[in-house]
Amino acid sequence: MRNIIGVCLVFVSLSGFAQPKGYQAVKNVAAFQQQLNKNNTSVQTIASDFIQTKNLALLSEKVKSKGKFYFQKQDKVRIEYTSPFSYLLVMNGNQVMVKDEQKTSKINTKNSKAMQSVNRIMIDCMQGTVFQNPDFSVTAYESANGYLLSMLPSNDAMRKMFKQIDIYMDKKSLDVDRLTMTETGGDFTDMDFTGTQHNTALNESLFKIR
């Protein structure tokens, strides 16, 4: 997927991360950011399949699910789990809707700083604007075939939720192949994206908060 979550001060901290195996730090971060911004201007919508794998410290088996992902510029996201259970998350501006097989919940992110931050993380990942997120410090790495953006929380609110967020991108297309979210307790979730399509017409009903 095209990298997925105004220009703020960019803080790139090399000392905050252990360099991942097979990657080296991007030497010209400013040029890399310009590349992301250029690609971002051409992307209006994203549609993709995903497989999510949740790794829980207390369980030996991994919890797997799959579904559909949709993004529409500037701030609309739909994450629809289809197997093994039905679950829906829709973000539309300041409104968030969560729907499972039993009930529907609606949240106004204006009333929750934490929800605002989580909402922005997903938007930044899709739009390639993670460097502009003041809640995280970001280090960019590269390998022969891809980029890795490692995000460390820079405030207490985010540190309570995340230990680290890693975004793996294809080097040529700048599509996000994998999003890894590691929680403070050590549990982590991988979202692997496949079959990504850009700029396809998406029905507005996909993002409707009902």
What is the residue-wise DSSP string for 90-145?
EEETTEEEEE-SS-EEEEEGGG-HHHHHHHHHHHHHHHT-GGG-TTEEEEEEE-SS
Say which residue, 28 or 19, is predicted with more confidence: 28
Q: Domain of 104: which CATH number?
A: 2.50.20.10
Structure confidence at residue 37 as a pLDDT band (50, 70, 90): confident
Q: What is the pLDDT of residues 8-27, one digit of tens each?
A: 222 222 234 457 889 999 99
User: Is the residue at 192 inside a domain?
Assistant: yes
Interval 197-205 mean pLDDT: 95
Structural domain contains residue 53? yes
Return the pLDDT at 66.
Answer: 97
**Cα–Cα distance, 13 to 58 (Å, whole number):** 32
Query: Do the beta carbons of residue 36 and residue 3 sit within 8 Å?
Result: yes
Sheet holding 76-83, edge to edge: 24-25, 136-142, 146-153, 162-170, 176-183, 188-198, 45-55, 63-72, 76-83, 87-92, 95-99, 104-108
66 in a structural domain = yes
Percent of the chain whose predicted confidence (pLDDT) is above 70? 91
Residue 104 placed within a domain: yes
**Angstrom distance (rounded) from CA 43 to CA 2:** 8
Query: What confidence score (pLDDT) does residue 6 get?
Result: 23
- Domain membership flag for residue 205: no
Q: What is the pLDDT of residues 168-190, one digit of tens each?
A: 999 988 989 999 999 988 899 99
Range(s) of the domain holding residue 45? 24-199
Q: Determine, yes or no, domain membership for 207.
A: no
Structure-block tokens of residue 53: 């794998």
Query: For residues 178 and 193, is the Cβ–Cβ distance under 8 A?
Result: yes
Evaluate whether residue 210 is within a structural domain.
no
- The answer to whether position 28 is within a domain reads yes
Give the number of domains in the chain. 1
pLDDT for residue 54: 92
